[in-house]
Chains A and B, each alone.
Chain A
Amino acid sequence: MQPRRTSLALAGTALVVLAAAACSGGSTPKASGGSSPGASGSSGSSGGTSAPATYQTQHRGGTLHLVAKSAGGTLDPMVNYTLQYWQLYQATYDGLLAFTKRAGQASFTVVPDLAQSMPKVTDGGRTYTFTLRKGIRFSNGAPLTTDDVVASFKRIFTVSSPTAGTFYNGIVGAGACLKKPATCDLSQGVVGDRNAGTVTIHLTNPDPELPYKLAVPHASILPKSAPPKDAGTTPIPTTGPYKFASYDPNRALKLVRNPYFKQWSSDAQPEGYPDEIDETFGLTVESEVTAVENGQADWVFDPPPTDRLNEIGTKYAAQAHVNPLTAVWYLAMNTNLAPFDNLKARQAVNWAVDRNSVVRQYGGQNLAAPVCTMLPPGFPGHVDTCDYTKGGGSTWTAPDVAKARQLVQQSGTAGAKIGVVVTDDEVNKSIGEYVQSMLNSIGYRATLKPISGNIQFTYIQNTKNKVQISLTSWYQDYPAASDFLDVLLSCASFHPGSDSSINISGFCDRSVNAQMEQALRTERTSMSQANALWGKVDQAVMKQAPVAPLITPKLIDFTSKRVGNYQFSKQFYMLVSQLWVK
């Protein structure tokens, strides 16, 4: 997904790709984070331990005050696609499966949530059977039944969830539902047996990544009475430890305890600590930081302004928590438009870009690290390799501007006019200015085109806008290499003329695509072998240089002095409900 405020339009494309992941054959998929991500090099991380903690009743109670510049849009968990609310959904909604709500690497593990156990997988990976836990109630008192589960999967399509066409398009009947959401019929795809308490999901093709997709908020199980349209600001009853009590996007939202919640799994859905959690909107980020410094708020949602970083890192170091993210910021070069339809021109950009300068623009080496590949360090499939570093080596050390200039001359593209499209926020614009300067220095005539973050992500996807190069970023949806490489750079995710063409470079290389398909097929039998293949795909992509990976960012959580028990999940970031304010 895109960073904090996600464009809903991205989904459409993104997951045509994943449909490809669901090719045939295969055996039992790895139900738990089989991606086995490597160590994430989180030297600056303060995300706490991954050991399951016992509930400490002495810290129960109080009100946690969160602040954000603006609201995150609809409260509907099947529609909202922002990290802002996905963080809150962790303590409110549940799916059949869930990512472990623990700190560190363990957070990538999928565990049973509303399901009693991991699904029974049959029919060569095409059928998943879940048995529901008993005794769970929604926050309105209604018991959870298989009818709710069946209705929830149907609702994914009736509300046109952003990932309906990508994550869940492999369910039998999904194709028709995507075409005509109003008359969606999933009766062949999701079958509930009320007496047995089971739900069976039938897929058209095996999908080893299905457990991940069932563990994100778009697959939340809601009451069957939930409206068949975006619920907007009206809260839908929850199953987790909290429920939404009120929501005014112009002012605040409030979570209170769900009186019907009884912890069934500390891994999947632990009991929360604060009695209430409120999030106030409308402050400037500067004011938010000041409020936390003064103890008037407990956590800032928005990234702190760059000119407050030093202050936070020195005077308030004990309250700052820095954690690496599985994300990449990169330059997408349009491989179908001059000058970047020329391989040497694309390689020149990769040679010329000073990733250390980008790191500084982002906030310094403790907030970002240079990268050479699309798969972030520590992510499944990542291999330390760098084709574009001065003097060679497996990690990036310095740019080689002379070589870049030479390549530009050889490519015959010197003097070409290039528009650099970035979002108009401070950090992106600043990096964009650097990229413009860099392009000018190697022989191009670059102009900067900063446009609103609300439209930039879809604008750069549409080939009609003739974007030559753009600065963008990608944050994982779930821990699988395909979520980066297949989603962002496969032929299937390139849709000329569409706002939902997440393959922004328009990169479609038959050889690389074949490698991707092989990796996806291998996932059904061995995730480790598949990851090794994804590593090779990553390197093959970089040989063609449709993108210039820049940095992998880190996240600062700035909390108030009174906050305790900070835990950082790599999947959904700070575990809000686990914070102590008492």
Chain B
Amino acid sequence: MTSDTSIAVPAGSSARRRRSSAGPWRTALVTLRRDRVAMISLGIFLLVVLACLLAPVYEHSVAHTDAFTSNISGTTIVHGKPSPVLAPSSTGLGLGVTPIGPTWDLHHYFLGADGQGRDVMARLLFGGRNSLLIGGVSALIACGVATVLGVAAGYFGGVLDAVLSRLFDVVWAFPVYLLAISLSVVLLTSGLTVGPVHIEGDSLWLPILIIAVIYVPYVARPLRGQVLSLRGREFIQAGVGNGASDLRILRKDVLPNVMPTVLVFLPLMTALNMLTESALSFLSIGVQPPNASWGTIINDGLGLLYTRPMVTVAPGLMIAVTAVTLNLLGDGVRSALDPKARLRGAA
């Protein structure tokens, strides 16, 4: 995303003119609504979110299970008959134990059990809550912090810009996953303490903060470039010339112009952060057991790949579907907020 995709409108200069037209936001919303791919993606995404939010209902009222407690020696009902959740092999040398596979019965291990005898469907829904929560909140934090730092660096320039830009460069110089893994490994055992605040090693806030921090430069650098470009534009100069304060110019002229960029970043970053969370959890350094995320469930299923592939396939599919829908939605938002894209579409 560069400044080319922004709406370079002197937002604070003509309130009267804005009233007489539909306005850029409303126009963008209308355009977005007309984008069928984006709308379908949004619909699917909201369905996934809704299903995940209903995880406790599924756990307690439908499956009658506990998604976070091992049930290795437990039994369930399959076709009306009791069956062990983890069945020891009874043929040949009797080696190995296989968790129950998908029963396709919502009340009894719909997608089967994992190696701990836990309901995969229930964990999938709870895992989705965590994956989406971490992806969404870390995207919000990353975009929020990046907006503040990027705008400040671009608008004020000078020493502040130099310091912040070098800071972005330093963080950016590390391979993203390497940095995330390093931070996670260090913080997992002892947690994070900042002043009076202590975050436990198994808290969801840890992956949220780690992922948010590593992706700040990803958003902040293009925003800084955009603000640098905006700073030389006539409507900003006019504001400066009229004696407007920096805060007023930032609030009335700069922020409204960078917000579309941030809005485009948001769904894309959510998808990206969710993928990063899944990768970290897959490596056992993200969400910690017995808590679940889609990444941890894939990790849980690795040892069952030959016998119970559903434990790995189901969260993998959910990650893929969610990431694709968020990316398509992000594309739709970008098209809706980019006037040039609209012009190209009109032509």
Taking the complex as formed, is A25 at the interface, i.e. its CB lies under 8 A from any CB of chain B?
no
Query: Which of A308, A436, A449 makes the CB contact (< 8 A) with B306?
Result: A308
Query: Which of A314, A320, A448, A556 makes the CB contact (< 8 A) with B91?
Result: A314
Among residues of B, the one whose C-beta sits closest to the C-beta of A435 is B70
Residue positions of B touching A, CB distance < 8 A: 68-70, 72-73, 86, 88-89, 91-98, 115-116, 188-189, 200-202, 284, 288-290, 302-308
B95 lies within 8 A of A309 (CB)? yes
How far is it, in angstroms, between the C-alpha of A366 and the C-alpha of B95 when the chains are bound?
A: 6
Residues in A neighbouring B288, C-beta threshold 8 A: 447-448
Query: Which of A44, A305, A429, A449 makes the CB contact (< 8 A) with B93?
Result: A44
Contact with B along A347-375 (1 / 0, CB 8 A): 00000001011001101111100000000
Interface window among A194-202, A222-230, A437-445, A515-523: A437-445
B289 lies within 8 A of A307 (CB)? no
B307 lies within 8 A of A437 (CB)? no
B73 lies within 8 A of A360 (CB)? yes
Residues in A neighbouring B201, C-beta threshold 8 A: 447, 449
A313 lies within 8 A of B96 (CB)? yes
Other A-B pairs beyond A360-B73, A366-B94, A367-B95, 16, CB < 8 Å: A307-B306, A309-B89, A313-B93, A314-B93, A363-B96, A364-B96, A365-B94, A367-B96, A426-B303, A433-B290, A434-B116, A437-B68, A437-B70, A447-B200, A448-B288, A451-B189
Taking the complex as formed, is A306 at the interface, i.e. its CB lies under 8 A from any CB of chain B?
yes
Pairs A–B under 8 Å by Cβ, sample size 8: A309-B95, A310-B95, A310-B98, A314-B91, A363-B97, A364-B95, A426-B303, A448-B290
Among residues of B, the one whose C-beta sits closest to the C-beta of A46 is B93
Once A and B bind, how many residue pairs between them come within 8 Å at the CB atom? 119
Residues in A neighbouring B88, C-beta threshold 8 A: 360, 364-365
Residue positions of A touching B, CB distance < 8 A: 44, 305-315, 317, 320, 322, 354, 356-357, 360-361, 363-367, 424, 426, 429-430, 433-434, 436-438, 440-441, 447-451, 556
* A434/B70 contact (C-beta < 8 A), A307-B304, A322-B95 known: yes
B73 lies within 8 A of A305 (CB)? no
B118 to chain A, nearest CB (A): 9
B72 lies within 8 A of A313 (CB)? no
Query: Which of B72, B200, B303, B308 makes the CB contact (< 8 A) with A305?
Result: B303
B65 to chain A, nearest CB (A): 13
Residues in B neighbouring A305, C-beta threshold 8 A: 303, 306
Query: Which of A366, A426, A447 makes the CB contact (< 8 A) with B202?
Result: A447
A319 to chain B, nearest CB (A): 10
B100 to chain A, nearest CB (A): 13
B95 lies within 8 A of A320 (CB)? yes
How far is it, in angstroms, between the C-alpha of A449 and the C-alpha of B188 when the chains are bound?
A: 8
Query: Which of A306, A310, A438, A451 makes the CB contact (< 8 A) with B303?
Result: A306
A313 lies within 8 A of B115 (CB)? no
How far is it, in angstroms, between the C-alpha of A383 and the C-alpha of B86 when the chains are bound?
A: 31
Residues in A neighbouring B307, C-beta threshold 8 A: 307, 310
How far is it, in angstroms, between the C-alpha of A102 and the C-alpha of B295 when the chains are bound?
A: 48
How far is it, in angstroms, between the C-alpha of A402 and the C-alpha of B86 when the chains are bound?
A: 23
Q: Which 10 residue pairs across A and B have the least CB separation, nearest first?
A: A309-B96, A313-B95, A314-B92, A313-B93, A357-B72, A437-B70, A307-B306, A309-B95, A310-B96, A313-B92
Residues in A neighbouring B96, C-beta threshold 8 A: 306-310, 312-313, 363-364, 367
Query: Which of A310, A322, A449, A451 makes the CB contact (< 8 A) with B89?
Result: A310
* A314/B89 contact (C-beta < 8 A), A364-B95, A436-B290 known: yes
B240 to chain A, nearest CB (A): 55
Of residues B94, B98, B200, which shows the largest number of chain A Cβ atoms within 10 Å of its Cβ?
B94
How far is it, in angstroms, between the C-alpha of A312 and the C-alpha of B70 when the chains are bound?
A: 27
Residues in A neighbouring B308, C-beta threshold 8 A: 307
A430 lies within 8 A of B95 (CB)? no
How far is it, in angstroms, between the C-alpha of A566 and the C-alpha of B69 when the chains are bound?
A: 42
How far is it, in angstroms, between the C-alpha of A306 and the C-alpha of B303 when the chains are bound?
A: 6
Query: Which of A313, A365, A437 makes the CB contact (< 8 A) with B116?
Result: A437
B39 to chain A, nearest CB (A): 41
Residues in A neighbouring B116, C-beta threshold 8 A: 430, 433-434, 437
A429 lies within 8 A of B95 (CB)? no
B95 lies within 8 A of A357 (CB)? no
B205 to chain A, nearest CB (A): 14
A429 lies within 8 A of B284 (CB)? yes
B73 lies within 8 A of A356 (CB)? yes
B117 to chain A, nearest CB (A): 9
Query: Which of B93, B302, B304 makes the CB contact (< 8 A) with A366?
Result: B93
B70 lies within 8 A of A433 (CB)? yes
B71 to chain A, nearest CB (A): 9
How far is it, in angstroms, between the C-alpha of A241 and the C-alpha of B92 when the chains are bound?
A: 37
How far is it, in angstroms, between the C-alpha of A320 and the C-alpha of B89 when the chains are bound?
A: 15
How far is it, in angstroms, between the C-alpha of A449 and the C-alpha of B285 when the chains are bound?
A: 10
Among residues of B, the one whose C-beta sits closest to the C-beta of A311 is B306
